[in-house]
Amino acid sequence: MKGIFSRLILGILVLSIAFLSLAPILWILISSISTRAELYSVPPHWIPQYPTLSAYNKVLITGEGFRGGGGISAAELMRRGILNSVVISVSTTLLVMSFAPLLGYAFSRLRFRGKNFLFYVTIGIIALPSWPVLIGLFSEFSTLGLLDRKIGLILLSFIFRIPFETWFMKGYFELVPKEIEDAARIDGCTHFQTLYRVSIHVVLPGLIAVSIISFLFTWNMFMAPLVLTYTLRSKPLTVAMTEFIGQYYVNWDLMSAGTMLAIIPPVLIVLFFQKYIIKGLSAGAIK
């Protein structure tokens, strides 16, 4: 009876956590297929009486205007936001994939003065919260001419991600037997050649894992772009959807449909690459 009771309590806790995690997404889905009359009804309709896909049609095809849009249609808003998010996320991921292995390998294998100090300074940036430095970042971006530019968001996301990815890549490289690299060095390979001809193939699951995490982080970035961008020339999708919030009216149906569309890429990436994420993070956690 004691074992049954323990499993029952555990099951209730698991179901509670799952409900708390999925309830917001479920409510957004319900809102995206509900009519505007049902969205403002009291009490709220948990199951739409007249489900409709008109919100998705507006943000994808017809491009119906909305209050507070400044003359920009909902479809145009979504297209620009998606394009900006793809450019920023993919560019950041490519930069991380290029530099994280180099830094991780350097801290793992090379010997140079101040190595430990530089490594601790690098990983110390991980603990630095982003929101307290936004005022300083705004001033610096203004001075450098990076405000409302995609290149500014790419550099910012890369700088905030590279310490974490370097730390994990260092752990991955420390799992590679040194004898493999010594054999490559005996055959005449330099450190750079040893990295990209031998070691990188061994730590490839880890590199894929950190790249996916970097993409997801950049895709979901909100606070910094909200402060550092102000036009659709550079606003990512997460910030562009705030345009649905007007001074006197909120287009809940359009915002909910846009949110469901924004969720699709991260969900698909996690579903298709979950094996690499779990394997990569588990391997890096050993060190």
* Closest by CA position to 265, among listed 229, 220, 233, 227: 220
Residues 11 and 70 placed together within one structural domain of the fold: no
Q: What is the pTM of this model?
A: 0.85
166 three-state secondary structure: helix
Contact 269, 215 (CB under 8 A): yes
Residues 107 and 60 placed together within one structural domain of the fold: yes
Tokens representing 187 are: 């055959």
Q: pLDDT at residue 69 above 60?
A: no
Cα distance between the two ends of the chain: 41
Q: pLDDT at residue 94 above 90?
A: yes
pLDDT of the residue at 283: 57
Residues 184 and 122 placed together within one structural domain of the fold: yes
What digits encode the pLDDT tens for the residues 199-217? 888 888 888 888 888 999 9
Q: pLDDT at residue 104 above 70?
A: yes
Measure the CA–CA gap between 108 and 119, rounded to whole angstroms.
Answer: 10
Contact 277, 209 (CB under 8 A): yes
- Which residues, other chains included, contact 220 with Cβ-Cβ below 8 Å and sequence gap of 6+? 238, 266
Lowest mean pLDDT among 13-17, 61-65, 100-104, 107-111: 61-65
Counted domains in the chain: 2
Q: How confident is the model at residue 66 (pLDDT cuts 50, 70, 90)?
A: low
Tokens representing 121 are: 């300074």
Top-confidence residue, 282 or 179 = 179
pLDDT of the residue at 17: 92
Residues 58 and 38 placed together within one structural domain of the fold: no
DSSP per-residue codes, 47-69 = S-SS---HHHHIIIII----TTS
Residues 110 and 129 placed together within one structural domain of the fold: yes
Measure the CA–CA gap between 53 and 48, rounded to whole angstroms.
Answer: 12
44 is in which domain, residue-wise?
Answer: 1-51
Measure the CA–CA gap between 206 and 214, rounded to whole angstroms.
Answer: 12
Residues 180 and 64 placed together within one structural domain of the fold: yes
